[in-house]
Amino acid sequence: MKYTFFLLIVLALISNLLAQSNEFLPLSRYGYGSLSRTYSPFSQGCGHAGLAYTSPEEYNSMNPASLGFLRFTDAEIGFNVKKKEISNLNNSVQDLSGTLSYLQIGIPLHNTINEALEHKERKHKFGLSVGLLPFSSTSYSYLIEDSSSIGNYLRRLNGSGGLNQFQIGVGYKYKNFAAGMNLGYIFGNLEYDQTFNLSGVIPAAQDNYVDRYFGSGISTQFSFIYQQFLNQKEITKDKSVKAKALNYSLLIGLPSRLNMSRYSLHTSVLNLNPVGLIIDTLSFQDNDISKSDIPFKLVGGISYNNKEKSGIVLDAGLENWGSAKLFEGNKGELVNDSYFSLGGWIKPDNTGYGNVLKRSQYRIGGFYEKGYLSLNDESLTNYGVTLGMATAFNFQRQLCVVNLGIELGQSKLQNFITEKYIKLNLGIRINDSEWFLKRRYN
């Protein structure tokens, strides 16, 4: 297992380099910024669907109840690179960015090798997960030239920062039913800077506005999975027969509250060259606490697994952002967010001994989302298609899976802004079977 941790540390160091490239998010001044929804590598290729998907080798980070199905320790790290074109009625701009998508580990609190040696299978199965995931991102830079009754003026607007989530999950499975819980700690900061000055006026004051928000709070999710075997009679007669199974899943995100501490400094600077600068403080606030909401969330999912050869996944969800209270000084109107996703997968050779192309899993899917942000009574929409591939390699009694994915999509706020993008996803998963192994010999 030391090789697993060594590889994750190396990849995490590489991710620091990629994280330096910030994505341009023109609408991230509103709400909490751009929500960074985290999907499992499987779901990234299946149109963001897969809440009900389970695997003995792969922890489904979308659903803590899947930990009850996990049989091997699963350590994962993921990256993405995104190229997009942002346009409005007058202008367009190209943007290239790359960042860390997730860092997580899922651990079954039992060992399947022990079960095989003892010829005894546990009835009650538990799992634990730990992960670091992005929650939202803020990143924009504008230069606005305009005029008013007092003359021409120039405004510079910059935003940076974001919220992250450290998450611990637990899962439990008994027979065909599994339940799980995620407990997350959300933390981070959002910074909004603005300068304003008149053009062609000497001397003229420049107004500087700095607003920083430091957020922290707890989030809680509960999830459930019920598995129905469609060929139970075949399995009873022959244990080697793989299952045809339908999984039904539900995830409930409870409303929670964030504490947002505000530091605000607004100044006006008058340059009387060569006499010097006159600085006037317009307003100052420090440690000004306001409350902000994370709303109720409900997601349902269905998956069909045809003997590990092929499958279909379907998800639908709703988040009640329309009733969420935002922190003081925030901008934008939030509306309820709804989404729908559908995907499928196929694995030509499910024995694991075929050539690379045959033993790989291939994925395809599509998604549609509407909501969260609204401007001028128009809601933000996001839709696209995905393709993915997962290939396994064995080394030193460990299984390494490389997940590759591509996403083509479009985000649109009618009559305001359009974003067309292509995103490449890379994920590396390492399975280890030696956790909680009882040694027979010293």
Quote the pLDDT of residue 302.
98
Nearest alpha carbon to residue 133 among 192, 78, 71: 78
Quote the pLDDT of residue 11.
47
Q: What residues pair up with 390 in beta bridges, in sequence order?
A: 361, 403
Give, for all 442 residues of the chain, the pLDDT tens digit. Answer: 444 444 455 544 444 444 444 789 988 888 898 988 888 899 999 999 999 999 988 899 999 999 999 988 888 888 899 999 999 877 888 999 988 888 889 999 876 655 555 556 678 899 999 988 889 999 999 888 877 666 677 889 999 999 999 999 999 999 999 999 999 999 999 999 999 887 766 667 788 999 999 999 999 999 999 999 999 888 888 878 888 999 999 999 999 999 999 999 998 888 777 666 777 888 888 888 899 999 999 999 999 999 999 999 999 999 999 988 888 888 888 899 999 999 999 998 877 666 788 889 999 999 999 988 888 788 899 999 999 999 988 776 678 899 999 999 999 987 788 999 999 999 999 887 665 545 544 4
CA angle, residues 187, 128, 62, in degrees to nearest 5: 65
Quote the pLDDT of residue 159.
93
DSSP state at residue 149: T
Quote the pLDDT of residue 276.
66
Quote the pLDDT of residue 353.
67
CA distances from 203 to 269, 273, 414 (A): 11, 9, 41
Place of tokens 């330096």: 20
Quote the pLDDT of residue 153.
78
Per the structure block, which two tokens stand in for 36? 């960074």
Place of tokens 């649109």: 412
Per the structure block, which two tokens stand in for 133? 């995931």
Helix (H, G, I), strand (E, B) or coil at 295: coil
Q: What share of the chain is helix, strand, coil (3-state, %, to 5)?
A: 10, 60, 25
Nearest alpha carbon to residue 54 among 272, 295, 304: 304
The three-state DSSP-derived secondary structure of 43-67 is HHHCCCCCCCCCCCCCCCCCCHHHH
Quote the pLDDT of residue 362.
96
Q: Which amino acid, 324? A: A
Nearest alpha carbon to residue 279 among 200, 206, 193, 210: 206
Quote the pLDDT of residue 310.
95
Quote the pLDDT of residue 20.
44
Cα–Cα distance between 219 and 437 in angstroms, integer? 33
Nearest alpha carbon to residue 254 among 168, 319, 170, 178: 319
Helix (H, G, I), strand (E, B) or coil at 5: helix
Handedness of CA 231, 234, 236, 240 (dihedral sign): negative
Cα–Cα distance between 165 and 150 in angstroms, integer? 46
Per the structure block, which two tokens stand in for 26? 């023109």
CA distances from 423 to 264, 387, 406, 419 (A): 36, 11, 6, 12
Helix (H, G, I), strand (E, B) or coil at 332: coil
Q: What residues pair up with 30 in beta bridges, in sequence order?
A: 331
Q: How far apart are the first and last CA of the chain?
A: 18
Write down the H helix ranges in 170-328. 232-237
